[in-house]
Amino acid sequence: MRLSPLLSAYIARHFIVSFAAVLAVILGMILLFDVIELIRRAAGRPDLGMGTIMLMAVLKLPQMLHTILPFAIMIGSMICFWRLTRSHELVVARSAGVSVWQFIAPVLGVVVLFGAIEITIFNPLAAAMFDRYDRMQDEMLRGNKSAFDLSEVGLWLREPHDEGELVVHSLDVRQEGLTLLMRDAQFFLYDRPDHFSRRISAESANLVDGAFEVRNAWVMEGGRPSVFVETMRIPTQLTLERIHDNFASPETLSFWELPGFIHFFERAGFTANKHRLYFNSLLASPPLYGGMVLMAALFSLNPNLRSGGLTARVGGGVATGFAVYFFSRVVYALGLSATLPQFLAAWSPAIFAGLVGMAGLFHLEDG
């Protein structure tokens, strides 16, 4: 029997309402805990008002959505199926010849569509907001005034310097071993904020032992003739470890920016395991959401929920959801360490959830 469009829309509407309610509750709890944590961290900073703390918590919230979506989808699906089962609507539908796969199909369609919208449209907004949150956290809570940017236009660095402030730009950046190599490097020194002091234009520069070793450079200062210097050292707080730690985290880059960033990062000689893994995890999000719906159906479609059966199924569903989460953390860690390929590590949770859900539903429907 073919499921009618009216019944499909009815089931989809029930799921959307349940999912929205669950998502609102979880996001509200996350916002509350984030505000409390930020208040604790800002205890020694009287200049940070409650408005700034609330702004930081709100800026971080959209990025947290991607983390909690699988749980919200699973719980929303369970609530939706329980309500339809307890009201005997799904029982009547199944007695009329509608299979479990047919009335799950509308929910699967909604979550896959939602997943596609989330990574292509919502993700760029969440990335921009999280990037601003990250910068505010560095400046206001960590006291880190350095700023790093590595993109297709090269390396940009700003950091406090002995004479004031140092801004570095290089179009060609490569890593060889433990040395950072730069070609066509430009160094702009400021003796006080917004007051230019001098510029050093170098043919090449290496970052070693807390200093830039500059070669074949022209030193230009206002009101003085340019001076050519074969070699010189410019002290810096920058290290190769800080480059790896401070360059744009995957969460601050949108779905559309990640491929170009990964290509440039690897071409420059850096490792992009974290960014590649995050990009593949975004691609695997819609299938993962579908797998969570299948597992939710496995624990909520049995009409006989008496004699403690409801409690057991709720516990089983929650335990399975956490099992998927911990499994994903383990394989992601293996992917970051290059023990597993990033593609396999990112897609394993979606494959695991889908196979478990389908196996259980095949047993429930045909066993």
- Residues 222-253: pLDDT tens digits? 778 888 988 998 888 777 666 665 566 788 88
Rounded to 10°, the helix 285-300/273-283 angle is: 50
54 is a domain residue: yes
- Both 132 and 240 in one domain: the answer is no
- Both 87 and 175 in one domain: the answer is no
- Both 123 and 70 in one domain: the answer is yes
Closest CA to 216 of 206, 224, 225: 206
161 is a domain residue: yes
- Both 279 and 137 in one domain: the answer is yes
- Both 25 and 118 in one domain: the answer is yes
- Both 138 and 17 in one domain: the answer is yes
Closest CA to 26 of 57, 58, 71, 63: 71
Range 340-346 average pLDDT: 87
Ramachandran angles phi, psi of 266, nearest 5°: -70, -35
184 is a domain residue: yes
Least confidently predicted of 7-21, 42-56, 272-286: 42-56
* CATH code at position 212: 2.60.450.10
Residues 92, 43: contact at Cβ < 8 Å? no
- Both 278 and 232 in one domain: the answer is no
- Both 89 and 28 in one domain: the answer is yes
- Both 36 and 130 in one domain: the answer is yes
- At which of 212, 246, 280 does a domain end? 246
- Both 134 and 281 in one domain: the answer is yes
Q: What is the mean pLDDT of the chain?
A: 82
262 is a domain residue: no
* pTM summary value: 0.74
Q: Which long-range contacts (CB under 8 A, 24 or more apart) does 33-40 make?
A: 34/60, 34/61, 34/64, 38/141
Per-residue model confidence as pLDDT tens digits over 143-190: 555 555 565 566 777 777 666 788 888 877 777 766 778 888 999 888
State the sign of the Cα–Cα–Cα–Cα dihedral 332, 338, 340, 344. positive
**Structure confidence at residue 150 (pLDDT):** 60
State the sign of the Cα–Cα–Cα–Cα dihedral 254, 257, 258, 262. negative
User: 71 pLDDT exceeds 80?
Assistant: yes
266 is a domain residue: no
User: 269 pLDDT exceeds 90?
Assistant: no
- Both 196 and 113 in one domain: the answer is no
Closest CA to 15 of 71, 73, 69: 73
149 is a domain residue: no
Q: Could you tell me which residue, 174 or 129, shows the higher pLDDT?
A: 129
Residues 9, 106: contact at Cβ < 8 Å? yes
**Structure confidence at residue 178 (pLDDT):** 67
Closest CA to 70 of 359, 332, 321: 321
The β-bridge relationship of strands 154-161 and 195-208 is: unpaired
The number of domains in the chain is 2
Range 96-105 average pLDDT: 79
- Both 276 and 138 in one domain: the answer is yes
Q: Which domain holds residue 220?
A: 155-246
265 is a domain residue: no
Per-residue model confidence as pLDDT tens digits over 45-62: 777 788 888 998 999 998
**Structure confidence at residue 258 (pLDDT):** 87
**Structure confidence at residue 267 (pLDDT):** 64
**Structure confidence at residue 23 (pLDDT):** 92
